Chain A
Amino acid sequence: MRDDEILADERLSAYVDGELDADARAEVEALLRRSPEARVRLDRFLALDRSLRELAPAELPPGLEASLRRRIDAEPAARPRRAGPPRRLRRVALAGFAAAAAAALALALLPRGQSRQEDPPLARQAPPPELARRDPAPEQLARQAPPRPPTEELPTPEDLPTAAELLLVSDLEAPEDLEVIELLDWLGELDALDRGGRG
């Protein structure tokens, strides 16, 4: 099909959809009066559209509406845009969330930290003569071991969130569900908590 034929065909298609202005519509109608091929083409376009519409009636399967209603009922209740859980609950949730994140970070870093402290310094240090001659007592090893990195930044089991706190976090909004402004609120509160902890 040549370019001008494609354009004419495209215009015929737009004519079927009622998308032409008055001038273009008049031109197409003039073409249809003088061209049997254009009339055949138009008939085929119209027949195709009829066939498409008959292809699939808009029927809903039984149970789809009930299923949607169950999902809607399971959604958290709608809340005003700036409202949220009470501030105290949000702080507990934030604290739990931060503690969980810190615990995950600590667990990820701990094995590498241990290998760094244990292997190279002990292997490279020449043992004192008295230790070289006999197995050291555990308390001596403990005294000679290089100082462990400060552990106060790592969470102890007491620092980890309790199951109740985690449940509380999960009951509140997860960060990925927040909009940007609300997420910034979360981060702002986290900073405020952090500053409060230092001050």
Chain B
Amino acid sequence: MQPIDDDVRSMLAFRDGDERAFDALFRRWAGPVLRYLERLVRDRAVAEELVQEAFLRVHRSRERYRPDARFSTWLYTIATNLARNEMRRPFRRALHESTDPEPGEAPRELASTGPAVDDVAHARRTSAELERALEELPERQRAALWLSAVEGLSYAEVAQALETTEKSVKSLVHRARAGLVDRMAEAHPERGEA
């Protein structure tokens, strides 16, 4: 069994009736889960709805909770299953298969302190291109790379969240990473960047 971390302690306190512990878990994890879900379902409003649904399930399941894994792994497993169900819906599948970027969606800036105008423009362009390239990855590659590279889950934890093997996760993460790097290098050969 994993050592008990703060999240597990909070979840156990919540199981014993401490609602503030649940609030603390929500504030700690709702943001990361939201950005993960947004990458999976590619729709901000749907992702927000799914975040609420994920935490509702945590709330409902408190009496059955057992600290067998990190809280975050359990939460990402719930979130992944919700996203999969959402993407199985026919109209959602059509959206999911589309590769058109959201019209009018402003890419986020990469630089934060007084960059030159050219750098800001370039960062925005790169960011938008990366978002688009990410969207075009197969769902499982995208999920595996995001959970590993951004959310910091181990391959074992990603495997649990995606209900697959560590070997498969290793391959999924590599294919996603190599595909994105190659695509970004093609888009910006002069900078040789990712």
Inter-subunit contact A55/B174 (CB<8 Å): no
* Residue total for A at the interface (Cβ-Cβ under 8 A): 34
B129-140 near A? 1/0 per residue, CB < 8 Å: 011001000000
Q: Which of A126-153 contact B (CB under 8 A)?
A: none
The answer, yes or no, to whether A98 is at the interface (CB within 8 Å) is: no
Give the chain A neighbours of B126 by CB distance below 8 A: 51
Which stretch of B29-37, B65-73, B114-122 is in the interface? B29-37
Asked whether, in the complex, the Cβ of A51 is within 8 Å of the Cβ of B34, the reply is no
Q: Check A19 against B108 for contact (C-beta < 8 Å).
A: no
Judging by beta carbons under 8 Å apart, are A51 and B110 in contact? yes
Whether B148 pairs with A17 at a CB distance below 8 angstroms is: yes
The segment from B5-13, B85-93, B94-102, B180-188 that touches chain A is B180-188
Given contacts A44-B185, A48-B181, A48-B184, contact A60 B30 (CB under 8 A): yes
Say whether A3 faces chain B, with CB atoms less than 8 Å apart: no
CB distance from A106 to the nearest CB of B (A): 35
B81 at the A interface (CB under 8 A): no
Contact B154 A52 (CB under 8 A): no
Interface string of A1-39 (1 = CB under 8 A from B): 000000001100110110100000000000000000000
Check if B173 is an interface residue, CB within 8 A of chain A: yes
A65 is contacted by which of B26, B131, B194 (Cβ under 8 Å)?
B26
A67 to B55 alpha-carbon distance, docked (Å): 11
A41 to B177, CA, bound (A): 11
Residue interface bits B145-187, CB-to-A below 8 A is 1, else 0:
1101110001100000000000000110110011011001100
- Which of B110, B155, B177 is the one whose CB lies under 8 Å from A45? B177
Identify which of B59, B63, B130, B180 contacts A75 (C-beta below 8 A): B59
B1 contacts the other chain (Cβ, under 8 Å)? no
B192 within 8 A of A: yes
Among B155, B174, B180, max chain A CB count under 10 A is at B174
| A148 smallest CB distance to B (angstroms) | 46
B146 close to A52 (CB less than 8 A): yes
CA distance A45 to B39 in the complex (A): 19
A64 / chain B contacts, CB cutoff of 8 Å:
30, 34, 48, 51-52
Query: Which A residues touch B193, using CB under 8 A?
Result: 44, 47
A13 touches B192 (CB 8 A): no
Distance A16 CA – B185 CA, assembled complex (angstroms): 19
Contact check, A60 vs B31: say whether CB atoms are below 8 A apart: yes
Closest to B129 in A: A51
> B38–A56 contact, CB under 8 A?
yes
Say whether A78 faces chain B, with CB atoms less than 8 Å apart.
yes
In the complex, the chain B residue whose C-beta lies closest to that of A61 is B48
Q: What residue in chain B is nearest A58 (Cβ atoms)?
A: B31
Chain A residues, CB < 8 A from B62: 78
B45's closest neighbor in chain A, by CB? A61
- A: which residues have CB within 8 A of B? 9-10, 13-14, 16-17, 19, 40-41, 44-45, 47-49, 51-61, 64-65, 67-68, 71-72, 75, 78, 81
Some 17 contacts from A to B, beta carbons below 8 A apart, are A13-B170, A14-B170, A17-B149, A19-B155, A19-B170, A44-B194, A45-B181, A51-B194, A52-B134, A54-B108, A55-B130, A59-B31, A64-B34, A65-B27, A68-B26, A72-B59, A75-B59
6 closest pairs, A vs B, by CB?
Answer: A58-B31, A48-B194, A47-B194, A13-B174, A10-B174, A56-B35
Given contacts A48-B149, A65-B30, 15 further A-B contacts (CB under 8 A): A19-B155, A44-B194, A47-B193, A48-B177, A48-B194, A49-B177, A52-B134, A55-B134, A59-B31, A65-B27, A68-B26, A68-B52, A71-B56, A78-B60, A81-B63
